[in-house]
Amino acid sequence: MKSFVTFGSSKTLEYYPNRWDVLERNVIVKHEDGPEDGIPHFYPDAEDLKMLLQDFDILQTRHSQNVDLFSDTWKGFHFFINLKVVK
Residue ranges per domain, the chain? 2-85
Q: What is the pLDDT of residue 52?
A: 95
Predicted confidence at residue 14, as pLDDT, reads 82
Q: Give the pLDDT confidence of 24-50 residue by residue, as tens digits.
A: 999 999 888 889 899 999 999 999 999
Is the pLDDT at 17 greater than 80? The verdict is no
How far, in Å, CA of 80 to CA of 56, rounded?
Answer: 14
Tell me how far CA of residue 19 lies from CA of 3, 15, 32, 53, in angstroms: 32, 10, 10, 28
Look up the CATH architecture of domain 2-85.
Answer: 3-Layer(aba) Sandwich (3.40)
Contact between residue 42 and residue 26 where contact means Cβ atoms under 8 Å apart: yes
